[in-house]
Amino acid sequence: MHTSRWIGAGFLASSLVLTSCTSGPAGVNAKQDTKATLELWTRTTPGGPGEKGALKLAQGFEKATGHKVKVTAIFDDFETKLQQRAAQKNLPDIVMNDVTQLGAMHSQGLLREIDLGRIKNSKDVIERGLDSGKSGDGKQYSLPYSAQASALLIRKDWREKLKLGVPQNWADFTAMAKAFTTQDPDGDGKANTAGLAAPLSTKRGYASWYFSNFLWAAGGDFLTESGKGTYKPAMTSKASVETMQWFRDLGCRDKSVQPGSVTMDTPPTNETFEAGKAGMYVVGPYLLPRFDESLGKDKYEVVPMPKGPKDATVLAEGGSVYLMAGSENMAGQDAFLDYAISPEGQKVGMEGKTGFVVQLPVNQTVDITQVRPDPRWKTFSDAYRNSGRYAPSIPNWTPVRQATADTVNALMADCGLDLRTKLSELDKQLAGILQEQGIAAS
């Protein structure tokens, strides 16, 4: 067990603010013990494949370095439990959490800055991955250990039956969505198929999360940076309005999005695709093992996203390693981070058909085909390396994603709403969120 660590805790404006009991940045004055067992928290379901993958990674680290690690998997109320530990002056040493949590964890004072000079494998981290770990002030507060990016899943048997080519642009994409909706691709004589499976629920901001793959490819944006570390709303820009109209037409005009999409998060949307109710799905690589078993590997294919009006930019996300403030074994923290992004750590994290913690490697020297020879995984890896884009590292991305999800959902659920009016209202809401976080452009 850890002894009590330096960390002072207080709640201010609903955020946990951590301050030193002595002068100096977080963790500088904590008494160091390089043999202290590292406590690692991973945001995943206890007993599930994510925990097994984290344990395997920790075991590989222990064998390679001699440092000891205690792994704890937590999913429900993860952030609340982390703040409780901060209030007890006893944070875990390391947290493996979503990349989008950087802003919130940094603004709460939970993290210590990473000295890349002490992380020798950081030089090989893909640049967009390295940038994902920087806060608004340009300092490094995390590094990704796993990435994912979107590609397009297509019912190959449907496409071939209707004699359609793989979509190369949005016109092809729209045409395929219409064909899958109207031309009975499953041959049962019933009008019971849709072109696109889309999770457009407001829950956890799913509608915004999904829509970003199209918005960014068209040159639109939720926010645009306006000067270092400041932003302004962008949902009423020409590209954003046109993209929202195009996407809305898929559902409202063409009826090409699966019925009930506005109430669905990912679990029922996954079921829609694997049950043969929709023919296309924009999603990450983590569903390949499931769909291979439930649908059949021969029934669907993985292809790059078709080029949008601007390019083929897709959402990039994944998991990051965070080094927590006040650790009594900072050398061990650095060593774990270095191992997680090393070629050895990346390969250990990718091994196995299930229970792996690395979806796509973030180390550019790692060839995914050497671990997973299935070419579909390379399609996803190429999408990440060539076209992936992370959400910006603002203090708190969650309210931005939720506000945009609410509007996207409303426009898809009610085809009578005035699109420009709703997007104007959204921009006003986003302006308020930026103001509250102190990052609004003047």
* Secondary structure letter of residue 111 according to DSSP: B
Q: In the prediction, which pLDDT does 408 show?
A: 98
313-341 pLDDT, tens digit each: 999 999 999 999 999 999 999 999 999 99
Amino acid at 250: L
Structure tokens at 153: 């899943």
Beta bridge partners of 302: 153
Asked if 87 contacts 10 with a C-beta cutoff of 8 angstroms, the reply is no
Average pLDDT over every residue of 389-401: 94
User: Where would I find the beta strands (DSSP E) of 141-272?
Assistant: 143-149, 151-155, 194-197, 223-225, 231-233
State yes or no: pLDDT of 19 exceeds 50.
no
Q: What is the pLDDT of residues 200-258, one digit of tens each?
A: 999 999 999 999 999 999 999 999 999 778 999 999 999 999 999 999 999 999 999 99
Q: Which phi and psi angles does 44 have, rounded to 5°?
A: -160, 170
Residue 9 has pLDDT above 90, yes or no: no
For residue 14, what pLDDT is reported?
A: 34
pLDDT average, residue stretch 92-118:
95
Average confidence (pLDDT) over 413-435: 98
Mean pLDDT across 160-167: 98
Lowest mean pLDDT among 137-141, 206-210, 266-270, 351-355: 351-355
- Summarize pLDDT for 286-302 with one digit per residue, the tens: 999 999 999 999 999 99
Q: Taking the CA of residue 90 as centre, how many other CA atoms within 13 Å lie in the half-sphere pointing to its CB?
A: 9
pLDDT at 141: 98
- Please give the pLDDT value at position 4: 28
* Per-residue confidence (pLDDT) for residue 136, from 0 to 100: 83
Helix/strand number for the chain, H first, E second: 16, 14
Comparing CA positions, the residue from 312, 289, 299, 307 lying closest to residue 154 is: 299
Burial letters 335-369, b for 16+ CB under 10 A, else e: bbbbbbbbebbbbbbbbbeeebbbbbbbbeebebe
Q: Are 404 and 391 in contact (CB under 8 A)?
A: no
Cβ proximity of 332 and 153 under 8 Å: no
Average pLDDT value over all residues in the chain: 92
Amino acid (one-letter) located at 61:
F
Could you report how far apart the first and last alpha carbons of the chain are, in Å?
Answer: 49
The structure's pTM equals: 0.90
Is the pLDDT at 162 greater than 80, yes or no? yes
Side-chain half-sphere CA neighbours of 189 within 13 A: 0
Note whether 371 and 347 are within 8 A (CB).
Answer: yes
Residue 421 has pLDDT above 80, yes or no: yes
Amino acid at 173: F
Using DSSP bridges, classify how beta strands 8-12 and 15-19 pair: parallel, antiparallel or unpaired: antiparallel
Least confident stretch, 132-141, 168-177, 274-283: 132-141
DSSP calls for 393-409: --S--HHHHHHHHHHHH
Range with the poorest average pLDDT among 8-12, 170-174, 286-290? 8-12
Can you give the pLDDT at residue 442? Answer: 83
Q: Residue 358 above 90 pLDDT?
A: yes
Q: Taking 60 as the threshold, does the pLDDT of residue 285 lie above it?
A: yes
**Where is pLDDT greater, at 88 or 3?**
88
pLDDT of residue 228: 79
For residue 23, pLDDT beyond 90: no
Query: Position of tokens 């493996």?
Result: 96
Which residue segments constitute the domains of the chain, with CATH numbers given? 8-146+316-389 (3.40.190.10), 151-312+394-436 (3.40.190.10)
**Degrees, nearest 5: CA angle 133-149-130:** 20
Judged by phi (left if over 0) then psi (alpha if -120 to 50, else beta), residue 260 lies in left
Mean pLDDT of 345-360: 91
Average pLDDT of the segment spanning 30-45? 96
Mean per-residue pLDDT for 346-366?
A: 93
Dist. CA 334–CA 120, nearest whole Å: 10
